[in-house]
Structure 1
Amino acid sequence: MNLSIFFEPLSEEVFATLNKPRTLGSYISRFVSKFPDWRTADIAILGINETRGRYTDEDNEADHIHHQSAARLVRKKLYSLNKGAGRCQLVDLGNLRPGITLEDTHLRLKEIVEVLISHNTIPVIIGGSHDLEYGQYMGYEHLERVVNMVTVDSSVDMTEDTEAAPNRKQLRQILMHEPNYLFSLSQIGYQSYFVEPEVMATFEKMHFESFRVGEVHRSVQEMEPVVRVADLLTFDISAIRHQDAPGYEPANPFGLTGEEACQLCWYAGLNDNLTSLGIYEYNPALDERKLTAMTVATMIWYFIEGFYHRKNETDFSGRHFTKYAVAFADDNPDRMIFYKSRSSEKWWLEVEPLSPEKGSRVVPCSYEDYLQATKGEVPNRWILTQARIG
């Protein structure tokens, strides 16, 4: 497939000063005059200057113009960062041409994501509005299997208000999409005063996980197994506090720190199953000193580094794992099976289905889940997963 027809080439003069030895800029093959060979790349960067999802039909079209350089500013910061110690096979495909309508852009993104992940190339999307995650999600439809999604956001974009802007209701689109291939959805970093109670009730009814920003502050390490379950991860910049990323609106003094955001992206990079990352809602018009561009660039840097530290820990029957069987009280014949990697020391939990005709499922967990089981308590992660399996 000729992907180049979907993309606008980059201006070489913008990056001419960034090709210093050891910087990422000198290792990334980018679309300037010749489209890069994305089939041999591990990761493909692409920008999308699409912001119509931030507005309702009543908003002025002129308001849509000021976000056009978001991906370019992130690239300038990212290219100037020093490369890590490992190998580096990256391409920059340029900016995806928006469709005539917002829905056209979603479908175009779907097609790009589908092609890239089919060739084992991970798309890293530097986007406009967060509704673009719907297109990112649709790119998994061809797999004909269930997928797991994690979104990092200060709110839960699942409002029932039909008049709301598209970037406030794309999760509802995802849940209603046919065919339905979403197995789990986890929300990290939400702030309760931004979320309608009905939305959280729907989340709980569907057995999805959600974590307030305070829970991330308390232990960002406990978010690692949450991120490790994801096939795709999306990140709304509004989840980060204004001090570390001022380039979004409305301004919010609370949220994740830039360091926590980078930590989550590092976990995403390490995740053997994750095949796409989208970072959305950066508005450069509000980023006077380009601090947000630097924050986003550093997040992507950590994702790339994490990717090149993957362990390929997927065969739990192999000698690289230690198996633990936790028995419950004497009158309860059940037991819970855990796996621990001898290399990374990460934990997994085997969940038995309620229906005997369905197979068990091994899901990421934490050491805390194991300790909870040894005390005779059933981890919440086990309960939610079994409820989704049926």
Structure 2
Amino acid sequence: MANYLSPKKKLWTGRSSENDLYLHEKVRCLPFTKVPSVKDQFAILGYCCDEGVRLNHGRTGAKNGPEAIRKALGKMPNHLKAGQYVTDVGDIVCHTDGLENAQHTLGESVAELLEKHTFPIVLGGGHDIAYGHYNGIKKYLLSKNKRPSIGIINLDAHFDLRNDVNGPTSGTPFFQIANENEPFNYLCLGIRKDANDKQLFQLAEELGVTYVLRNTFRIQFVKEINTWIRAFMAKVDYIYLTIDLDGFSSAYAPGVSAPSPLGFSPDVVLESLETITSSGKLISMDIAEMNPKYDVDGLTAKLAASLVHHIIHSEFP
């Protein structure tokens, strides 16, 4: 693949121990061709692309997000079981004017990882990551003669339902998915009225999108939120989880493409993740819009790494 880079072991550093106390000691760096087919393993794939952000008039720099998240994650403690590992399989890169090629390669890569029984964790990169990622899940399920019943759960301030008449951007992925898939099962958590115009709200209603506004996506409403999440998941067979870091308040995530002080907080997100992972339906996930160019003290990279850390240490039924 012309836009694929092999993993770099030098990114995974931290304290050394004799008992695998830190995650960098549990990471294997392997190209796709050498990834073993073993259940209960996690595969990290980078999506080094911010072309979609540029086309969506956002501030660029997210193409370096995967590296920053890896560096933060490697230093964290390891609580995995003795036989569990995290496999870094490298990066998909976006060459000049190559957004659609990068999305296509991402989809092919996700399908291949799922075929090897690994759980893909894709690190972005702009939120155009979602279109390629979804199509990779869909391709894998179709290869198994399964009619894809995929529910998308997006933790985000934005619907990302902009029309792609002028081509794909980081703001169009779910519009593209909706146009190509029936039914379209989409749950958005953390939507803000100051981040989506009235036409986007109208389109969301027309497409049957389920969403929770930021004012409600708070820890004091966690019981109601989890009830809505469970009701959504009951309608589908598989869940694709995508977390846009710009949905968080800039107090927690300053290093994103579109920051805002009015975003949500990590506590309600962690509670939501518990509900999602315990469903037994989560098939793959990604984290989008990590922009180290604007990060402060590595806060955003650490937040993204902590979310990944939480996922890999969750109990999957």
Q: Provide TM-score, normalisation by structure 2.
A: 0.84
Structure 1 residues not aligned, in runs of 5+? 312-390
**122, 126, 129: which one aligns with 1:132:** 129
- For the pair 1:285 / 2:280, whether they are aligned, the reply is no
1:320-354 Cα offsets, whole Å, 9 max, x none, are: xxxxxxxxxxxxxxxxxxxxxxxxxxxxxxxxxxx
CA distance in 2, matches of 1:13, 1:195: 40
Return the match for 2:112 from 112, 115, 120: 115
The residue type paired with residue 187 of structure 2 is S
AA aligned to 1:140 is I
Correspondence list, 1:340-351, <5 A: none
Are the structure 2 counterparts of residues 85 and 127 from structure 1 closer, same or farther at C-alpha, using a change threshold of 3 Å? Answer: closer
Which one scores higher on RCO, CA 8 angstroms, separation ≥ 6?
2
Q: 3-state SS of the aligned residue for 1:47?
A: strand
Q: 1:175 to 1:19 in 2, by over 3 A?
A: farther
Question: For residues 278-357 of structure 1, what are the structure 2 equivalents within 5 Å?
Answer: 278-306=286-314, 309-311=315-317
CA distance in 1 between counterparts of 2:227 and 2:114 reads 22
Give the TM-score of the pair, scaled to structure 1.
0.69
SS at match of 2:310: helix
Picking from 47, 64, 69, the partner of 1:69 is 64
Distance 1:115 1:161, change over 3 A: closer
Cα distance in 2 for partners of 1:30, 1:185 equals 34
Does residue 94 (structure 1) correspond to residue 90 (structure 2)? The answer is: yes
* Aligned match of 1:258: 266
Deviation beyond 6 Å, 4+ runs, structure 1: none
| Letter of the structure 2 residue corresponding to residue 310 of structure 1 | F
% identical aligned pairs? 20
CA distance in 2, matches of 1:39, 1:205: 42
Q: CA deviation at 1:109?
A: 0.7
Equivalent residue for 1:151, pick from 151, 154, 172 = 154
State the number of aligned residues.
Answer: 299
1:105 to 87, 96, 102: 102
5+ long unaligned stretches in structure 2: 142-146
Shift of 1:31: 3.3
Q: What is the alpha-carbon root mean square deviation over aligned residues? A: 2.7
In structure 2, do the counterparts of structure 1 residues 116 and 188 end up closer, same or farther at CA, with 3 Å as the change threshold? same
- Which of 174, 177, 194 does residue 174 from structure 1 map onto? 177
Quick one: distance in 2 between partners of 1:256 and 1:105? 30
- 1:216-265 Cα offsets, whole Å, 9 max, x none, are 20323433355552520111111000001110143311111123333333
Deviation of residue 272 (structure 1)? 1.0
CA gap of 1:226–1:30, structure 2 versus 1, over 3 A, is farther
Change (3 A) 1:15 1:120: closer
User: Structure 1 90/70 Cα, relative in aligned 2: closer, same or farther at 3 Å?
Assistant: same
Deviations 1:6-57 (A, max 9, x none): 642333333344554311111121238x965242252111111111001229
Q: Matched residue of 1:271: which SS? A: coil
The aligned counterpart of 1:381 is none
Instruction: For 2:189, give the aligned amino acid.
Output: I
Give the superposition deviation at 1:183. Answer: 4.2
Larger Rg computed on CA atoms: 1
User: Is contact 2:14-2:74 (8 Å) kept?
Assistant: no
